[in-house]
Structures are given as C-alpha cells and as structure tokens.
Amino acid sequence: MPPFDLVYTDGMMSTERVIEHIRQAFAGTPHPGDAFLQGSVEGEEPFQVIAPFKGVTHWQDVDPAVLDANSSALSFFAEGGLRFFLPAYLIADLRDQLNTADPIFHLTNGFHDTSVELKIRARVFQRRLGKSTFMNPRRYGAMTSQDYARYRLSIFTREEARAIVAYLKERRESDSGIRQEEIDSALNSYWRDRAEHAPSGHDLTQSLQEEAAFLKEAGIDPEAKNSTPE
C-alpha cells in the first residue's frame, strides 16, 4: 500500500482510510502546553470551552461528547491548541459523532465569496459574505476574512495539510448541498497548495534541533527569563 503522502490526491479513500491517514499525519504533533491552548481572552466563553482540554496530552483521549459540547473551542483555541486537537474533531466528524461542532466551517471559511440581499424598510442592502469581507476595519485595518484564514491555518505541516485535504474530499463527496462549493473553493485556493508546499514535519524538527544547539553553545537557558551568554 503506498504511503499517504503519495496518494492524497489520487481519487477517494474509504472513510476508515481517511481516519488512518489523519491518525498518522498528526501522530507526532506536539502538545503546546496548557498555557498555550487558549487564544481569545475576551469574555468568559473562551475559558469555559477550553477548560475541558487542559491536562489532556493525547488528543485521541478526548470523548466526542466533549468535542461536541465545546464546539466553539475551534474558534477560541490558540494556534497550538487548534493544531493539536483538530484531528480529534475530524475523526469524530467522519464517524458522525458530532451534532454541533463543525470542523468543515473552520477549514473552509474565508475562501469563498457570497452575498445576500436584506431589505430594511424601503432600502435593500447587498451584504457581502466570505473571503473579501473585512474582519473589522477599526480593529484589524485592511485584513480580510481570507487573510485571517490563511494566517490561522498556516500552522499545519505538509503532512497534516494532506490529511486535511483527504478529510475535505471525503466530506465533499458525502455532502450534496452547498458545502461542496465551499470545500472546492478552500481546496483550490489554499489546501492543495498547502499540501504541496508547506514545511514538513522534518523541517520543524530540524529547526528546533538547530535552535537548541545554538542556545546550548551560546550558554543560553531558554527557560530562564533573563538569560545571557556566558
């Protein structure tokens, strides 16, 4: 059987094979540490939905019921938390164990444009939604939804992105609704390229090793707040 990194674009996999692909791709993804699980600190909800994930150092151990009960964690995870726990959501979704949590949205939002007409009194407003909409100009300036999506999803290695491609392709084939267009847009404008050109897991490991060697030779303790070379 060819390795997953050679077949991720070659037709469809069975659901169980996609699950195994995800398991292998994220097997070595490091836990970021509890202090780096939560991203947003605005309001009480981020703290509440991230709390059940603290102390969990193996994403395979999270019960699907916990994932579903804390569906908004996918929005409130810091980047390290999202990268670490996403495979648990993907596998639970492939097994139809999620009723509320929607990993597809978090992997495709920001790559597709649409608009709706809303009539208020005598005036009709054309409301644009999707990749070209501004996040919040007062707070983020000219950042669009697509800019943000590309930034937030850039955490995944080449191997992890290939597993995500396999997941999205499987979900596309099992969905006959509008999500096919959303998935296609995300695949074509981001995920396929990410799966080809993102840094590999080996690249990250090598970078960490080189940094550790430099700090050792320089006499710098990375755990010390005010370290200086000897």
Q: What would the pLDDT profile of 109-134 be if each residue is shown by its tens digit?
A: 999 887 677 888 888 877 777 788 88
pLDDT > 90: percent of the chain:
73
Return mean pLDDT, the chain. Answer: 89
Residues 6+ positions from 165 with CB-CB distance below 8 Å: 8, 9, 187, 191, 192, 195
Specify the pLDDT at position 2.
43
- Averaged pLDDT, 50-79: 96
CA distances from residue 93 to 24, 171, 191, 198, 217 in whole angstroms, order as listed:
17, 9, 19, 25, 47
pLDDT > 70: percent of the chain:
90
Q: For residues 180 and 163, which has the higher predicted lDDT (pLDDT)?
A: 163
Asked if pLDDT for residue 178 goes beyond 70, the answer is no
Q: How many other CB atoms sit within 10 Å of the CB of residue 213?
A: 10
> Of 60-64, 96-100, 133-137, where does mean pLDDT reach its minimum?
133-137
Asked if pLDDT for residue 78 goes beyond 60, the answer is yes
Model confidence band, residue 225 (pLDDT cutoffs 50, 70, 90): low
Specify the pLDDT at position 4.
52
Cβ atoms of residues 228 and 220 within 8 Å: yes
Q: Which is nearest to 134 in space by CA: 124, 126, 125, 146?
A: 146
Asked if pLDDT for residue 176 goes beyond 70, the answer is no
- Averaged pLDDT, 95-116: 91
Asked if pLDDT for residue 76 goes beyond 80, the answer is yes
CA distances from residue 219 to 165, 208, 226 in whole angstroms, order as listed:
43, 16, 12
Asked if pLDDT for residue 230 goes beyond 70, the answer is no
3-state secondary structure of 63: coil
Residue 26 CA to residue 55 CA, distance in Å, equals 18
Q: Cα–Cα–Cα angle for 187, 31, 14, nearest 5°? A: 40
Which helix H or strand E contains 49, and what residues bound it?
A: helix 45-50
